[in-house]
Amino acid sequence: MSVEAKPTNIKNSFIDLFNQHKDELEKGLPDFINNKRPEALEAFKKLGIPTKKQEKYKYTDLSPAFEKNYRQYFKPKTIDFDINEIFRCDVPSLESKVILLLNGWYYDREQALYESKEGIIYGSLYEAANKYPEIVRKYYGQIANAREDSLTALNTAFAQDGFFLYIPENAVLEEPVQLINLLLDEEPGMTQHRNLIIAEENSDAKMIICDHTLSKQHFLTNSVTEVHVDKNATMDIVRVQNEHNGATQLSGLYAKQEKRSNFSVNTISLHGGVIRNDYNILLNGEGCDSNAMGLYLTDRGQHIDSYVHIDHKEPHSISNQLFKGVLDDFATGAFNGRILVRQDAQKTEAYQSNNNILLTDDATMNAKPQLEIYADDVKCSHGATVGQLDEEGLFYLRSRGINYKEAQLLLMYAFAHEVIDKIKVKPLKDRIHGLVEKRLRGELSRCNYCEMKCG
């Protein structure tokens, strides 16, 4: 299925696209998903594609990505070979359950859902919506803001499939689930998949999300992920973004935490053309622990924008934001970290730190902390730095015989280390250490045996 979106009027072309393909979009999906589409489309009609005139998108120009023509995938793409022949994740001894999404659709149509005897369910959202409508209905679209965020609205109007993970009360997912988003086509393509992650009371789970491009075409991803972390539950997400320079990745994460829950998201952005990661985390109960972290390594004309919004609604919660980046060549980046402490959220602790190293005079970073505090008994801090590598550290290393380039690498690596070190899945942590080192050395950072060599 190939439909071209006209570049002239992006907004209208999406509306036309929707009207032309409404039946296909709705096919096989329950009402509680389809009923959200018209409203979302209306919101998108009002809001349009974000522009740099909007404060939230001041530093990221989305128009070049949206002006291109893309193939849309209203049903799964059929390929005449086994994806496993060209792609294999080689994180050693990572005992994870691997789920593949190909261009936004769950790949293994033979077994679209896995169910464990403890009641853990994971796999295709499309399938889950049909097989477990009572669960999906309860959570789908509950926290993603399709009224005010135009990209979320667009996703809500078009989403058909994606990843689904459900951890019932008291269940523990022993081995992490690994979701791998693959993009592969002979033509440029756009995907708008939707993920739904649910951790019920006292449950515990880890998951890994990897993004890869397997062919050199331009790709545009506009994904939305909703994460529900119920009372005393723990959810830990590590994400590795590794797409080529022609890829644009817009990813909206919405998380809602209940009492004494623990949520952590750590995004390692190794490579990508334009990356925009939104993190919206609502601390809806007392005593939550919340961590949003990121490491980005960019060079050439790459751009990365991290937008974080932590909403402390109830007292006694702790949130931490730790974002670090190394920008080389003429790469650009932005960080916008917002902490909102509502009036009732006494004894809140909210910390934010964003540190950047610019390796050249042409690299640019914009960091913007925003603290909005309405409670009077809180501990909050923020710090943003943009600088060069530590001269004294460099000299110390060189004085031991280590050459300048190697000393620089050691320091960059050390800088990145703090974020990587927070990864709790040990084999993945080790692998990421290796990948980051390779990336900083300027060696190709493919983390799979991919035959496409799209770089």
Partner 1 sequence: MLTIKNLHAAIEGNEILKGIDLEVKKGEIHAIMGPNGSGKSTLASVLAGRELFDVTEGEITYNGKNLFDMAPEERAREGMFLGFQYPIEIPGVSMMNFLKTAVNEHRKYRGQEPMKSSDFLKLMREKKKIVEIDSNLTNRSVNEGFSGGEKKRNEIFQMAMLEPNLSILDETDSGLDIDALRIVANGVNKLKSKDNATIVITHYQRLLNYIIPDYVHVLYGGKIVKSGSKELALELEEKGYDWLKKESAV
Nearest distance from C-beta of residue 370 to partner 1, angstroms:
28
Which listed residue (379, 388, 404, 449) binds partner 1 by CB under 8 A? 404
By beta-carbon proximity to partner 1, the closer residue of 254 and 415 is: 415
396 binds partner 1 (CB under 8 A): yes
Place of tokens 């075409």: 217
By beta-carbon proximity to partner 1, the closer residue of 374 and 395 is: 395
Nearest distance from C-beta of residue 455 to partner 1, angstroms:
28
CA distance 261 to 175: 20
CA distance 300 to 126: 38
Please, are residues 5 and 190 in contact by the beta-carbon 8 Å criterion? yes
Nearest distance from C-beta of residue 346 to partner 1, angstroms:
34
Centroid of chain to Cα 338: 17
CA distance 59 to 356: 16
SS3 430: helix
Nearest distance from C-beta of residue 414 to partner 1, angstroms:
3
CA angle (111, 113, 115) in 5-degree steps: 120
Which listed residue (208, 411, 423, 425) binds partner 1 by CB under 8 A? 411
Site for partner 1 in 128-157 (CB under 8 A): none
Q: How many residues does the chain have?
A: 455
By beta-carbon proximity to partner 1, the closer residue of 201 and 418 is: 418
Nearest distance from C-beta of residue 410 to partner 1, angstroms:
5
387 binds partner 1 (CB under 8 A): no
Binding mask 320-359 for partner 1 (x = CB under 8 A): ----------------------------------------
Which range of residues in 72-80, 183-191, 249-257, 416-424 is near partner 1 by CB under 8 A? 416-424
Place of tokens 């932005």: 334
* Cβ count within 10 A of residue 25: 21
Nearest to 58 by CA among 303, 244, 267, 222: 303
DSSP H/E element including 310: strand 303-312
275 binds partner 1 (CB under 8 A): no
Phi-psi region of 232 (alpha: psi -120 to 50; beta: other; left: phi over 0): left
Beta strand extents in 184-288 (DSSP E only): 189-191, 194-199, 204-213, 219-229, 234-242, 247-257, 262-271, 274-283
63 binds partner 1 (CB under 8 A): no
By beta-carbon proximity to partner 1, the closer residue of 295 and 454 is: 295
Nearest to 451 by CA among 209, 206, 184, 251: 184
Total binding residues for partner 1 by CB under 8 A? 23
Which range of residues in 41-49, 109-117, 367-375, 398-406 is near partner 1 by CB under 8 A? 398-406
Please, are residues 328 and 442 in contact by the beta-carbon 8 Å criterion? no
398 binds partner 1 (CB under 8 A): yes
Q: What is the DSSP letter of 5?
A: P
Which listed residue (402, 427, 438, 452) binds partner 1 by CB under 8 A? 402
Which listed residue (30, 119, 393, 434) binds partner 1 by CB under 8 A? 393
By beta-carbon proximity to partner 1, the closer residue of 117 and 405 is: 405
Which listed residue (359, 375, 384, 410) binds partner 1 by CB under 8 A? 410
Which range of residues in 20-28, 176-184, 360-368, 400-408 is near partner 1 by CB under 8 A? 400-408
Which listed residue (2, 20, 395, 451) binds partner 1 by CB under 8 A? 395
* Integer angstrom CA distances of residue 204 from 162, 171, 257: 21, 7, 13
CA distance 165 to 280: 19
Nearest to 411 by CA among 302, 286, 326: 326
Nearest distance from C-beta of residue 403 to partner 1, angstroms:
5
By beta-carbon proximity to partner 1, the closer residue of 405 and 453 is: 405
Which listed residue (260, 316, 417, 441) binds partner 1 by CB under 8 A? 417
Which listed residue (19, 55, 93, 401) binds partner 1 by CB under 8 A? 401
418 binds partner 1 (CB under 8 A): yes
Nearest distance from C-beta of residue 325 to partner 1, angstroms:
15
Which listed residue (292, 416, 428, 436) binds partner 1 by CB under 8 A? 416
Please, are residues 273 and 247 in contact by the beta-carbon 8 Å criterion? yes
Work out whether the CA dihedral 175, 239, 202, 139 comes out positive or negative: negative
Reading the block at residue 211, the tokens are: 């993004």
* Cβ count within 10 A of residue 221: 25
Nearest distance from C-beta of residue 393 to partner 1, angstroms:
5
93 binds partner 1 (CB under 8 A): no
- The residues that touch partner 1, with contacts defined as CB under 8 A, are 390, 392-393, 395-404, 406-407, 410-411, 413-418
